[in-house]
Structure 1
Amino acid sequence: MKKWEKYYIGITGAIFIITCIISIIFWRNVSHLSEVTVVIIKKILCIIILLIVVAMAVYVIILGIINMKRGMHNIKKCDDELFTKIDQYKKCWGEDNNYYIKQIEIINLLYKKNGKVDELVKNKEIERLYARADFLLVQNSLYDNLTTCFSSLVISVIASFVCQMMQCESVILMFVWMITILICFFGIVLSRYAKKGHDGSYRYYIDEYERKLLMEKISGLENELIITDQDEQILETKQVVINELIEIRQKKKFKKQKEKLETDIKQVGQLNLCMGDYTTYYIQKINIKGVSGCLVYDLEKGKENNYMGELNLINEDYSILYQILNRYDLISYYEREK
């Protein structure tokens, strides 16, 4: 929720509560007031309530417009610098054979082996790949969705005419209505096929082709994202810390404290803690508010500080994790067995 929404709802809610309190006081003391005063107060309260209703209606309308604007934007644009290089070639004045060839060529350029998309795969930027896949899916399904919605609307109108027709006493008029309705029905159904492709465009084939290449890249990346059994306990530690920070954040009352915790939660979520091979590392068990977790230290260097504290953790990400744990007093060490 944005700031203006919070302020808008907050102010409107405060006015509503104050109005309710005044109304209760008024009705309890109405017998002590003159008739003229009662009428004036009633009118004022009615006006205030009307203004509150109008304010909420305006709020809903504004949200509706914003959502429609956002929806139109998401339909038209992918909002990714890399894939914009593909979408910029979709603008033309009439589609022809050269237009489709140009589209396929630029797609093949970006999706070729060791190309720009492979860089995303190499960097494990799966969110950007998912966002593009979703965009292409929306592009391919948009025409069918709009056609279905329009057909459903027209058919519902036709159905209402049928109900009215059944009440008609004239057989001839009923027959004319029936013929008209049948013509309208088949006209709506067949209008979809008046032009080949999607309203004369074959661009959806281009989007399907790109999505096929993209899903192959995504599938390959998904298959590469594997962890070891030791990595699993590291991920569990990370999730335990996130859960604890969220719980702390929910108890805070001040905005700055909440924002700081939100930043720390996001930072923990972005830490790269999994190492895969731990043969040269020491996994130290820690206690996170009664839940078992672990930190990873350098096997040899960690001996000097008994694998405790921030010193000799294997990388900067673990140092950040330790600092956050220490900041909120979440960490303690188990007594080591002798």
Structure 2
Amino acid sequence: MKKWEKYYISITGVIFIITCIISIIFLRNVSHLSEVTVVIIKMILCLILLLIEVAMVVYFSILGIITMKRGMHNIKKCDDELFTKIDQYKKCWGEDNNYYIKQIEIINLLYKKDGKVDELVKNKEIERLYARADFLFVQNSLYDNLTTCFSSLVISVIASFVCQMMQCKRVILMFVWMITILICFFGIVLSRYAKKGHDGSYRYYIDEYERKLLMDKIRDLENELIITDQDEQILETKQVVINKLIEIRQKKKLKKQKEKLETDIKQVGQLNLCMGDYTTYYIQKINIKGVSGCLVYDLEKGKENNYMGELNLINEDYSILYQILNRYDLISYYEREK
């Protein structure tokens, strides 16, 4: 929920609560007031309630417009600089053979071995690949979804006509109604096939082709994403820290404190702590407010500080993690580790 939404709902809610309290006080003391005063207060309270209703209607209208605008944007655009190179060639004035060839050539260029998409796989940017796969899925399913919704709407209208027809006493009129309904029904069903493809376009085959190539890349990356037992310990430590920070945030009252904690939580989530091979490192167990965790130190250099503190941690990400742990007094060392 955005800030303007929070403020809008909060202000409207406060006004509503105050109005309710005033109304209760007014009802309990109405006998002590003159008729003119009672009428004026009632009008004021009714006006305030009306304004609250209007405010909520305006809010949901704005929210609906924003939601529809966002939905239209997500249908039309992928919002990824790399894949925009494919989508920019989709605009044309009439699709022909050359149009489809050009689309396939661009897709093959980006998805070729060691191409631009392989760079995403190499960098393990799976979120961008998922986002593109979802975009292509939406593109392919949009036509069927719209057709299904339209057909359902028309069929419901036809069903209402059938109910009216059943009440008709004249046989001729009932026959006319039946013929009209049948024509409408088959017209709706067959209209989908009036043009070949999706309303005369075969572009969905292009999207299916790209999605097939993309899903192959995603599966390759998914199969590569494996971790060691030590990595699992590190990931568990990371999650424990996130959980503890969330608990602290829930107890804070001040907005600035909450925002600072939210920043730290996101930062911890983005830390790259898994090393894979730990033969030259030392895994030091730590106590995170009653939960076991671990930090990773340089095996040789860490001896000088007994694998404790921020000094000689293996990289900058671990230093950031230690600073956050220390900032909120979350870290302590087991006696046996000293």
TM superposition shift of 1:275:
0.8
Deviation at 1:314, TM superposition (A): 0.7
Q: Secondary structure at the match of 1:89?
A: coil
1:133 aligned counterpart, secondary structure:
helix
Asked whether the equivalents of residues 297 and 314 of structure 2 are also in contact (C-alpha less than 8 Å), the reply is yes
Q: Is the partner of 1:246 in helix, strand or coil?
A: helix
Cα deviations by residue, 1:31-65 (Å, 9 ceiling, x for unpaired): 11001110110111011101101110110111000
User: Is the CA contact 2:284–2:337 (under 8 Å) kept in the aligned structure 1?
Assistant: no
Structure-1 separation of matches of 2:119 and 2:189? 46
CA contact (8 A) 2:86 2:106 kept: yes
Distance 1:337 1:134, change over 3 A: closer
In structure 2, what is the Cα distance between the partners aligned to 1:237 and 1:121? 26
Q: CA deviation at 1:91?
A: 0.3
Question: What is the CA–CA distance in structure 1 between the aligned matches of 2:79 and 2:17, rounded to whole Å?
Answer: 42
Which shifted more, 148-157 or 1-10?
Answer: 1-10
Matches within 5 A, 1:255-270: 255-270=255-270
Question: SS state of the match for residue 200, structure 2?
Answer: coil
Q: Which moved more, 1:15-24 or 1:319-328?
A: 15-24
**Conserved 8 A contact 2:285-2:337:** no
Q: Deviations over 1:6-52 (max 9, x none)?
A: 11111111111111111111111111100111011011101110110
Q: What SS is found at the alignment partner of 1:286?
A: strand
CA deviations 1:241-268 (Å, max 9, x no partner) are: 0000011111111111111111110110
Give deviations 1:281-328, integer Å, cap 9, x for gaps: 111000001000000111111111011000111111101100000000
How many Å separate the matches in 1 of 2:130 and 2:72?
19
Shift of 1:108: 0.5
What CA distance in whole angstroms lies between the structure 2 residues aligned with 1:337 and 1:51? 66
Deviation at 1:143, TM superposition (A): 0.2
Q: CA deviation at 1:66?
A: 0.4
Cα contact 2:136–2:207 (8 A) shared by 1? yes
Output the CA distance in 1 between the equivalents of 2:11 and 2:315.
49
Equivalences for 1:195-234 in 2 at 5 Å?
195-234=195-234
**Displacement after TM superposition at 1:216 (Å):** 0.5
CA distance in 1, matches of 2:331, 2:3: 35
Hey, what's the Cα distance between the residues in 2 that align with 1:163 and 1:219? 52
SS in 2 for 1:295: strand
State yes or no: 1:60 paired with 2:60. Answer: yes
Shift of 1:176: 1.1
* Aligned counterparts of 1:280 and 1:7: Cα–Cα separation in 2: 53
- Name the SS of the counterpart of 2:336 in structure 1: coil
The aligned counterpart of 1:20 is 20
* Structure 1 residue 177 corresponds to structure 2 residue 177: yes
How do residues 165-314 of structure 1 correspond to structure 2 at under 5 angstroms?
A: 165-314=165-314
TM-score (norm 2): 0.99
Q: Is the alpha carbon distance of 1:337 and 1:78 closer, same or farther for their aligned partners in structure 2, counting shifts above 3 Å?
A: closer
Partners of 2:333 and 2:323 in 1: how far apart?
15
Mapped partners of 2:9, 2:60: distance in 1? 11
- Cα deviation, residue 138, structure 1: 0.2
The superposition leaves residues 79-135 of structure 1 with CA deviations (integer Å, 9 ceiling, x where unpaired) of 001100000000000000000000000000111111111111111111110000000
Q: Which secondary structure state, in structure 1, belongs to the residue aligned with residue 279 of structure 2?
A: coil
Paired position in structure 1 for 2:159:
159
Give the secondary-structure state (helix, strand or coil) at the position aligned to 2:295: strand
Q: CA deviation at 1:199?
A: 0.2
Cα offset for 1:337?
6.4
Give me the whole-angstrom Cα distance separating, in 1, the residues matched to 2:66 and 2:279: 54
What secondary structure does 1:317 align onto? Answer: helix
Q: Distance in 1 between matches of 2:91 and 2:272?
A: 41
2-structure distance, mates of 1:156, 1:114: 53
Q: 1:88-99 counterparts in 2 under 5 A?
A: 88-99=88-99
Structure 2: runs of 5 or more not aligned: none
> Following TM superposition, by how much is the alpha carbon of 1:136 offset from its aligned partner in structure 2, in angstroms?
0.2
Distance 2:164 2:12 in 1: 45
Name stretches of at least 5 consecutive residues in structure 1 with no aligned partner.
none
Q: Deviations over 1:212-258 (max 9, x none)?
A: 00001111001000000111011000000000001111111111111
SS in structure 2 opposite 1:282? strand
Q: CA deviation at 1:276?
A: 0.8
The sequence identity of aligned pairs, in percent, is: 94
Q: CA deviation at 1:336?
A: 1.4
- What SS is found at the alignment partner of 1:213? helix
Paired residue for 2:69? 69
Per-residue deviation, 1:201: 0.0
Cα distance in structure 2, aligned partners of 1:150 and 1:272: 48
**CA 1:337 to 1:269, structure 2 compared with 1: closer, same or farther past 3 Å?**
closer
Q: Secondary structure at the match of 1:113?
A: coil
RMSD between aligned alpha carbons? 0.9
SS across alignment from 2:293: strand
